[in-house]
């Protein structure tokens, strides 16, 4: 369903009326397209504190030209050297004059360091989280603000490219930790998944279909998995993308073994997207509604992941990307079953990630969508739907492609230093952190 309020506030009368009434004024977000793959304008590189980060060569490869001052499409503040409260004053001094000049749908990216044993450094670096999240809630005009903690700029190249591009339009207020593992640079950054195979569960429609399309755009051979009842839709999507369809119920006890048998040459990206809702307040929720959601959204993810890892079906350098939700991170009335299942996904990711990397060379991450414009959210009652759309820093719902772009970044061969992360794709929802 179209966001009519967003369209209305894009007109002169709509801007006037919403301003007079103090209503949200969402900006039309700039998303990736083949015609406009990069942000429009230069990049301003600033520093707070003493830094030895080798950042300039990586920023040069983003395609954004450097700016000395003035209007910019993106601002990157290297604050990895901030170690005390006095140095936080340099953060203010650097960004205070620059924020106003960031273009609409632009990016502010703060780079921080991991917290070390020095409590002064830890306090100053933790302060960057409150700073970036607060700035994200006030900056407006479709601009996003994120914090990346890193020690090696080259290991973070795929992350910097993503966050400094239109692909991250609905990702804001996030803190992303990037390790120091040496990246595997693709032969072609425009088609980084060429020669790789990706399986998308629940890929016949909605967000899953968008994920399959985006991975195929990036060069992957996509296997579209969905329940037998959706086989025709799965085949339609797979044929359009030059992939294959697999009709399978992921809750089957042998689902993992059957996936492995269907892909004898192995798999490079396993995308757990399939999920259901059976909403009802706990006092009115029968056991079957509880059990169905936990079975599809969590138990099947655990079983198939374990089976595919045990079978060696995920090749070294592989990626597992699961789907959590802000309902699991912040809670949501009427969704105790759904919230439990999606919080469980976050727990799975954080616990499995280090072991999967050490034993199999595979990373494990999750996306956590907020309010995304789908057929499911279009059926939500009007006032609840409008609240869901407006209760974030960008004052609008996201699109399935926003989840897909974030998934593609996590599935990228150069994203090996990103592991155990749960990244919200929610426009910095006001629900939770």
Task: Write out pLDDT tens, residues 9-21.
Answer: 889 888 888 888 8
Question: Residue 343 carries which DSSP code?
Answer: H
Both 172 and 296 in a single domain?
A: no
Closest CA to 312 of 274, 256, 366: 256
Both 140 and 84 in a single domain?
A: yes
In a domain, 1, yes or no: no
Both 101 and 164 in a single domain?
A: yes
Q: What is the mean pLDDT of residues 15-35?
A: 91
Both 154 and 207 in a single domain?
A: no
HEC profile of 171-215: CCCCEEECCCCCCCCCCCCCCCCCCCEEEEECCCCHHHHHHHHHH
Tell whether the model's pLDDT for residue 40 goes beyond 70: yes
Closest CA to 81 of 69, 68, 94, 71: 94
In a domain, 433, yes or no: no
In a domain, 86, yes or no: yes
Tell whether the model's pLDDT for residue 2 goes beyond 90: no
Both 217 and 363 in a single domain?
A: yes
CA distances from 343 to 58, 202, 319 (A): 35, 19, 20
Predicted TM-score (pTM) of the model is 0.96
Tell whether the model's pLDDT for residue 298 goes beyond 90: yes
pLDDT at 16: 86
Both 120 and 164 in a single domain?
A: yes
What is the percentage of the chain residues whose pLDDT exceeds 70? 99
In a domain, 189, yes or no: no
Task: Write out pLDDT tens, residues 368-396.
Answer: 999 999 887 777 777 778 888 999 999 99
pLDDT at 432: 66
332-364 burial code (b ≥16 CB/10 A, e <16): bebbbbbbbbbbbbbebbbebbeebbeebebbb
Q: What is the mean pLDDT of residues 249-258?
A: 97
| Domains in the chain, number | 2
pLDDT at 34: 97
Tell whether the model's pLDDT for residue 430 goes beyond 90: no
Both 257 and 351 in a single domain?
A: yes
Both 133 and 226 in a single domain?
A: no
The band of 22, judged by pLDDT with boundaries at 50, 70 and 90, is: confident
Tell whether the model's pLDDT for residue 1 goes beyond 70: no
Closest CA to 189 of 207, 205, 167: 167
Task: Write out pLDDT tens, residues 115-127.
Answer: 999 999 999 999 9
**Any idea which residues carry the catalytic annotation?**
338
**Could you give the maximum distance between any two Cα atoms of the chain, in Å?**
62
Tell whether the model's pLDDT for residue 149 goes beyond 60: yes
Tell whether the model's pLDDT for residue 367 goes beyond 60: yes
In a domain, 260, yes or no: yes
Q: What is the mean pLDDT of residues 69-98?
A: 96
Task: Write out pLDDT tens, residues 267-277.
Answer: 999 999 999 99
Query: Residue written as tokens 């966050």?
Result: 163
Task: Output the CA angle 60-217-245, nearest 5 degrees.
Answer: 150
In a domain, 183, yes or no: no
pLDDT at 68: 79
Mark which of 177, 205, 228 sits at the end of a domain: 177
pLDDT at 379: 72
Mark which of 118, 145, 177 sits at the end of a domain: 177
Closest CA to 229 of 204, 209, 207, 208: 204
Both 59 and 173 in a single domain?
A: yes
Average model confidence (pLDDT) for the chain? 95
Task: Write out pLDDT tens, residues 166-176.
Answer: 999 999 999 99
In a domain, 202, yes or no: yes
pLDDT at 145: 98
pLDDT at 84: 97
CATH of the domain at 353: 3.40.50.720
Both 112 and 207 in a single domain?
A: no
pLDDT at 433: 53
Both 102 and 223 in a single domain?
A: no
Range of the domain at 44: 31-177
Q: 244-247 and 267-272 as β-strands: parallel, antiparallel, unpaired? A: unpaired
pLDDT at 268: 98
Both 132 and 252 in a single domain?
A: no
Task: Write out pLDDT tens, residues 206-250.
Answer: 999 999 999 999 999 999 999 999 999 999 999 999 999 999 999
Mark which of 177, 206, 229 sits at the end of a domain: 177
Residue 68 C-beta-side C-alpha neighbours within 13 Å: 0
């Amino acid at each position: 369903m179209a966001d009519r309020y967003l369209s209305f506030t894009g007109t002169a009368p709509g801007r006037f009326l919403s301003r007079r009434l103090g209503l949200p004024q969402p900006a039309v977000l700039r998303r990736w397209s083949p015609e406009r793959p990069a942000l429009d304008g230069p990049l301003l590189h600033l520093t707070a504190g003493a830094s030895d980060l080798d950042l300039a060569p990586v920023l040069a490869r983003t395609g954004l030209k450097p700016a000395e001052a003035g209007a910019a499409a993106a601002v990157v503040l290297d604050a990895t050297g901030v170690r005390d409260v006095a140095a936080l004053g340099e953060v203010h001094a650097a960004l205070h004059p620059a924020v106003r000049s960031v273009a609409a749908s632009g990016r502010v990216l703060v780079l921080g360091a991991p917290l070390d044993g020095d409590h002064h450094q830890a306090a100053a670096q933790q302060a960057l989280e409150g700073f970036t999240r607060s700035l994200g809630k006030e900056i407006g005009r479709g601009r996003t603000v994120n914090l990346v903690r890193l020690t090696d700029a080259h290991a973070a190249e795929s992350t910097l490219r993503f966050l400094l591009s239109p692909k991250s339009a609905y990702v804001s207020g996030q803190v992303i930790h990037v390790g120091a593992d040496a990246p595997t640079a693709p032969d072609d950054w425009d088609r980084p998944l060429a020669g790789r195979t990706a399986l998308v569960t629940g890929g016949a429609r909605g967000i899953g279909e968008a994920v399959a399309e985006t991975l195929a755009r990036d060069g992957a051979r996509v296997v579209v998995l969905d329940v037998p009842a959706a086989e025709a839709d799965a085949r339609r999507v797979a044929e359009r993308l030059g992939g294959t369809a697999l009709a399978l119920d992921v809750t089957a006890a042998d689902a993992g073994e059957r996936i492995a048998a269907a892909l004898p040459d192995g798999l490079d990206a396993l995308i757990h997207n399939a999920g259901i809702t059976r909403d009802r307040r706990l006092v009115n929720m029968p056991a079957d509604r509880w059990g169905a959601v936990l079975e599809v959204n969590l138990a099947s993810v655990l079983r198939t992941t374990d089976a595919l890892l045990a079978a060696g079906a995920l090749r070294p350098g592989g990626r597992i990307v699961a789907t959590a939700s802000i309902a699991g991170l912040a809670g949501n009335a009427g969704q105790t079953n759904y919230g439990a299942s999606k919080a469980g996904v976050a727990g799975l990711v954080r616990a499995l990630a280090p072991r999967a990397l050490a034993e199999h060379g595979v990373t494990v991450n999750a996306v956590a969508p907020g309010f995304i414009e789908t057929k499911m959210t279009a059926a939500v009652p009007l006032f609840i739907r409008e609240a869901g759309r407006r209760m974030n820093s960008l004052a609008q719902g996201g699109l399935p492609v926003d989840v897909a772009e974030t998934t593609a970044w996590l599935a990228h061969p150069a994203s090996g230093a990103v592991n155990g992360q749960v990244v919200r794709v929610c426009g910095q929802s006001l629900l939770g952190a």
